[in-house]
Structure 1
Amino acid sequence: MVLRPVMPLVEYVVNYDYISDVLCINKKKPELHCNGKCYLGKELAKSSSEDSKSKNPAQKIIDCYIPVEISVVKTVGQRLLSGLTFTHTTDYSYLYLKHIFRPPIV
């Protein structure tokens, strides 16, 4: 299954509050800022070990080349920077086909 490695990440994002409050091993050490990442690491390790046992070599190669995007996950740093806007202006432009597209000569 292609989505098997992604499932622990999706579960972490969906159940973030429950995992960080209940299942986190380091909740007694707030200076670590773990927020359930220890649980996520265990689940990812378990998922990868199950995948390596159950797959044939061809399936492993196919899974390596399938891009996976998770755009829902936002970190605290991204939340802080979301209010800032940066503008980029391009003052230089070049028309590559200028010599071809000329107005007709009357």
Structure 2
Amino acid sequence: MNETMLDALQYYGAGAGLLAAFIVSLNLGVTKTGWAFVIFVTSSLALIAWGFLNDEGAGIGWQNVGLLIINVIGVYRYLFAAGDPEKKTKTAEEPSA
């Protein structure tokens, strides 16, 4: 694979990972966090490709295989298993005023 394509995979993977982490850090709600995990998935796929197509990137490739599994769980949890994002789940009884 040519150097330009490898660079594109590397920098897309890094940038998409940063963007997704920023969205998660903003705590914008279930749906937006779910879409951040979709971005994480694309980041992992790019870095898996970069890692295994690059002579020195196998460690990053394997790391992102693990991260891909985690990110797919995040997509499922936040976009498919979350139910109605408008409903809040109480974890403890709130005191009445």
Q: TM-score, normalised by structure 1?
A: 0.30
Larger Rg: 1
Q: TM-score, normalised by structure 2?
A: 0.31
Q: Normalized per residue, which structure has more helix?
A: 2
